[in-house]
A = this chain, B = another copy of it.
């Protein structure tokens, strides 16, 4: 099997009052907060057309995750049986990409103010996509 790897270059970083992993909720809709997405000057050219009120899917790199974990107890609950990480939303997984459905509150030159987000301050941003019209509740 081919073993090429691919390099992710962050397009920016999350700026949030959430600074500690232990304070972060498990999902944005479980206590996520407002946050700023601060893009690099180059990547900011890709924001044209995004405005307040838009619904986006934010992809992050969960840089504190453990990449060698393949099975977990869902939501850390030891009463639940060991489950493959691909059947869970555990941040620990081989390629720890976070998927977050967010609303845009404000747009400046290089920044988006969004909510709700459970990712902590400093989390690298991988990509931003619009929610497709056909799917009202992407995330």
Chain B hits for A6, CB < 8 A: 7-8, 10, 61, 63, 124
| Copies of this chain in the oligomer | 2
For A42, A61, A127, A128, the residue with the greatest tally of chain B CB atoms inside 10 Å of its CB is A127
A125 to chain B, nearest CB (A): 9
Chain B hits for A83, CB < 8 A: 48-49
Instruction: Report whether A5 and B7 are in contact in the complex, using a CB–CB cutoff of 8 Å.
Output: yes
Instruction: Report whether B129 and A99 are in contact in the complex, using a CB–CB cutoff of 8 Å.
Output: yes
Instruction: Report whether B46 and A86 are in contact in the complex, using a CB–CB cutoff of 8 Å.
Output: yes
CA distance A95 to B84 in the complex (A): 26
Residue in B11, B49, B70, B89 whose CB lies within 8 Å of A95: B11
The contact string, 1 if C-beta is below 8 Å from chain B, for chain A 82-99, is: 111111110001110101
